[in-house]
Structure 1
Amino acid sequence: MPLEYLNYIIFVTIGWLILSLKLRFYDVYRFTRATKIAALVLQQAFFFTLIVFSFFGFYNELNRSATEIVIYIAEVIGLITLIKFTIFYFLKKYRVILGGNYRQTVIVGVNEKTLKLKEFFTSNPEYGYHLKHMFEVNDTNELALQDCYEFILTNSIDEIYCSISELNDEQMKSLIDFADNNLKVLKFLPDNKEIYTKKMNYDYYGYLPILSLRSIPIDDPINQIIKRVFDIALSIFVLVFILTWLTPILAILIQLESKGPVFFKQKRNGLDYKEFSCYKFRSMKPNPTAHIHQVTRGDTRITKVGKFIRKTSIDELPQFINVLFGDMSVVGPRPHMVSHTEMYAERIDKFMVRHFVKPGITGLAQVSGFRGEVETDDDIINRVKYDIFYVENWSLLLDIKILLLTIKNTAKGEDKAY
């Protein structure tokens, strides 16, 4: 392949990705209208044309006529448009005919706007929303809200739609806390009442405006691809260039001091609260309380080799296996033991929000001074605050920053790394 064509592939691929991120080309959801998709395609096609012509203008020695370039662009955009609309309409038919890809919903509050939303759900099955119940709640009816919570939990409801005008501030706070603590998506039908200082998404279901309580950047398909590629590339690097030679050395040292397995496997809660097996190099003597009691300062269970690998965070390196398998990410909220997760979920408000994304080997809370043992409630409360900020403000640059801070902190040593 001539060098010019290799340059073209690199140039156009990077250009396409930048365009897609900037124009939000892949932001297509179940409630997106076909006209919006067509508009996105036209925008993408216009700027893609400029990119292609700029390349062939620079490499004029390739001697491609304007007609050939236009035909090529038309074929590319035409194929992408065909694929995009085929998937879009296939999913609509799949929801209507086979009843798949559905989201179970409830509506809280009965008024003109919620009745319109109910009509939208029932008359547009292709969007994939199954309305299970509509609750009549007002600012003096506390029991109705509790009935709503019980119904949501027992019927595995995915999304809650709430009319702001039907609830008072205390009820609104109660509903927000319930959604956060039970991993339910909460969306509002706006009115003139002020909502708390939250990042909100504004979408249209048909012509009806809908507000989403929490915007999670990692939910974007392109961001998921970017983060996954970053995770895979980094985990392969660590596994191939570090763990291939480090593991045999540590295996000998660990077993010379304490007989038992080289790796320590422990159940943790990950994305959507699902359990997975988290791997570490064993740093303690085999003991029956390892899965129950967190390590404390001066813990006698820790071996001499264990003290070193915990201080340098080397014991965490096998978690790159979890990253490669897709259970974890390189950066994200740190997972807790299952027993601790259940305890914190009951005691700490909004603790469950951190399970909207994959857990990480390192995280924003850890590089901000909240790693290791939870000695007081303030430790876990602040950890949750940083984790929620990360969930709502993720970017690849933030991941890279956290990774660099992790390396820096490890090199200089941390007081709570024990």
Structure 2
Amino acid sequence: MKTLQNPTNNPSRQFRHPFQLVCKRLIDIIVSSVCLIILSPLYIGAALSILAEDGRPVFFKQKRSGKDDTAFDIYKLRSMKVTPSAPPPNEPAKQYNWSDRVPDDFVFKQASLHNPNITKTGRFIRKYSLDELPQFYNVLKGDMSMIGPRPEIVEIARCYDNRQQERLRVKPGITGWAQVNGRSSMNHGQKISYDLYYVHHFSLWLDIKIFSMTIYQVLLGKDAS
């Protein structure tokens, strides 16, 4: 794990607002608890649909980089087939081995909703971001927050330079400033810029704004990959 460094003289605004951080954590606990209870019918319905269509497991687990580059297990409802078909021959293997930094023009490509390895249930839950529901448990545990930069894949975070590492100074979120300004359509350089804006301009008001914009996008199924 790399030691985070701050190459600028502008520390994260979160560190200058301890009271707001306490409020943010309390909100995370309350909202995630309520969502886990209220949305339980969706969990059950999605789980039964996954089981009926493609069997177990219901959940997908993956290591992600959290605050201060501490790895944790993120949970999602499984949307891909247990036994995938062979990938297209022209599809390159995923290798994250940049020597100095993640290139700004890098775009993380999730499987298209038309990918034959995505189940019918998977297409639906991805379109409306229902596959992210188990992350309320990550929020309740304290690995994540409701609002923050999306948790990075560990292998990609290992390639960050000092500036890119700044996004790891805060807890990752279920949704963030980058997601409501483009979601899957932006490259890595744009994502970092939006994430660093959030790190340096943190406020509860900004969190409320991001949450409201997220609800709007989810209801429309907007910009889903």
- TM-score of the pair, normalised by structure 1: 0.45
Higher relative contact order, structure no. (Cα contacts within 8 Å, ≥ 6 residues apart): 2
Per-residue Cα deviation, 1:313-363 (whole angstroms, up to 9, x for no partner) = 0110110100000000000000122223234x16xx722110000000000
For 1:336 and 1:285, locate their aligned partners in 2 and report how far apart those are by CA, in whole Å: 23
Structure 1 residue 185: Cα displacement? 4.3
Contact preservation (8 Å) 1:182, 1:352? no
Deviation at 1:260, TM superposition (A): 1.8
Larger Rg: 1
Unmatched tracts of structure 2, length 5 or more: 87-92, 95-108
1:359-374 correspondence runs (5 A): 359-369=172-182, 371-372=183-184
Unmatched runs of 5 consecutive residues or more in structure 1: 1-152, 154-180, 187-197, 199-212
Q: Distance in 2 between matches of 1:185 and 1:383?
A: 18
Decide which of 264, 280, 288 is 2:76's aligned counterpart. Answer: 280
Hey, what does 2:23 align to over in structure 1?
A: 226
Same amino acid, percent of matched pairs: 43
Say whether the 8 Å CA contact 1:354–1:384 is kept in structure 2: yes
- Which one of the candidate residues 54, 57, 68 is aligned to 1:258? 54
CA contact (8 A) 1:367 1:402 kept: yes
Q: Secondary structure at the match of 1:364?
A: coil
Query: Match for 1:271 among 37, 47, 67?
Result: 67
Report the counterpart of residue 4 of structure 2 in structure 1: 183
Q: Partner of 2:214 in structure 1?
A: 406
Tell me the equivalent position of 2:126: 310
Q: Deviations over 1:163-215 (max 9, x none)?
A: xxxxxxxxxxxxxxxxxx951246xxxxxxxxxxx7xxxxxxxxxxxxxx123
Of 38, 42, 61, 1:246 maps to 42
- 2: CA distance, partners of 1:276 / 1:228: 18
Letter in 1 for 2:173: G
Distance 1:260 1:284 in 2: 11
- In structure 2, distance between residues paired with 1:223 and 1:303: 41
Looking at secondary structure, tell me which structure has more helix per residue. Answer: 1
CA pair 185-379 structure 1, distance change in 2 beyond 3 A: closer
Q: Do the aligned residues in 1 keep the contact of 2:43 with 2:133 (CA within 8 Å)?
A: no
Matched residue of 1:385: which SS?
A: helix
Structure 1 stretches of 4+ with a deviation exceeding 3 A read: none
Q: How many Å apart are 1:287 and its aligned residue?
A: 5.4
Please tell me the residue identity of whatever aligns with 1:242: L
CA distance in 2, matches of 1:239, 1:406: 18
Provide the aligned length of Structure 1 versus Structure 2. 202
- Report the counterpart of residue 395 of structure 1 in structure 2: 203
Paired residues for 1:322-341 under 5 Å: 322-341=138-157
Whether contact under 8 Å (2:6, 2:163) holds in the other structure is: no
